[in-house]
Amino acid sequence: MAQKQYHVTGMSCEHCVASIKEEVSEVPGVSEVVVDLAAGAVTVHGADLDDERLRAAIVEAGYGVDDSIAA
């Protein structure tokens, strides 16, 4: 099982967490989405994870992915 982690910008509440979990969970191969609101981190577990699709799902939920900060 693969794992990918992202630093997500713009999250401020539990609604943000739910929105990201909902969008990212729809990406093929995703088995689990863990969102750490305090750290601004999203960890995705699954098989054959597509980085581009995962990033697009986070953006679709209304948030950004900050590559300048290690999650």
The mean pLDDT value for 14-32 works out to 97
DSSP calls for 7-60: EEES--SHHHHHHHHHHHHTSTTEEEEEEETTTTEEEEEESS--HHHHHHHHHH
Query: Which pTM was predicted?
Result: 0.92
pLDDT at position 32, please?
98
Strand partners, 64: 9
Give yes or no for residue 70 having a pLDDT over 70.
Answer: no
pLDDT at position 26, please?
97
What is the per-residue pLDDT across 27-63, written as a single tens digit (0 to 9) for each? 999 999 999 999 999 999 999 999 999 999 999 999 9
